[in-house]
Amino acid sequence: MTKIRVAGTFEDATLDVLRILGVTNAAKAANLSPKTIRDYSDPDRAGRPTLAKSVLLDAACYAKVGRAPFLEAYTRQLAEATAQIQRNPGDVLSEALDLPGAIGRLLDIIRKSRAPNSPGGVKLSPNEASAIVREIKTPRQELDDLEFAVVSATKSNG
């Protein structure tokens, strides 16, 4: 019986890696045994790949299909973990730190849409183009928030 893995988890990312590369190639890419890489996909087992191993697995997947499953999982988890954090209005550093996440999510959507196995192949389908255009709005909003924070900080200093 197949175990259910929660979308966006590292176990789910490992399962994506195994689907993309196969057990043998995934194990070789990260210099792990096939059993270890399979165990990483099991939500009932302790232990997950190190960050260094995750990067190796993402690089192999990216080379094959243009996706980085661990980066996607990390980005999703980070977005969820920080969604409810209250920030000081006008805090320049806080606003600036929102930019990498927004850009990362945009890049993930672009990478997925350019993968050979995506709905439009390496060309954009109308739905993929629409998703990219929608996601572009987030970094744009983050830049506006940063600009407002910088202007606000300048006014409060002088």
Number of folded domains that form the chain: 2
Is residue 105 situated within a structural domain? yes
Whether residues 95 and 149 fall in one domain? yes
Which ranges of 68-116 would DSSP assign to H, the alpha helix?
A: 69-82, 92-114
Give this prediction's pTM: 0.58
Tens of pLDDT along the chain (158 residues)? 466 777 788 999 999 999 999 999 999 999 999 999 999 988 888 889 999 999 999 999 999 988 899 998 998 888 788 777 765 556 888 888 888 889 988 998 898 888 888 877 778 888 888 888 888 988 998 998 888 888 888 776 65
pLDDT for 156: 62
Clarify whether residues 40 and 92 are in a common domain.
no
Which of 37, 69, 101 is the C-terminal boundary of a domain? 69
Same domain for 93 and 128, yes or no, is: yes
Q: At what angle do helices 92-114 and 69-82 cross, to 10 degrees?
A: 150
Residue 97: what pLDDT? 87
Q: Distance between CA atoms of 54 and 57, rounded to whole angstroms? A: 5
Q: Looking at the structure, tell me whether residues 98 and 158 fall in a common domain.
A: yes
Q: Are residues 90 and 153 in the same domain?
A: yes
Residue 27 lies in domain: 1-69
98 and 33: one domain?
A: no
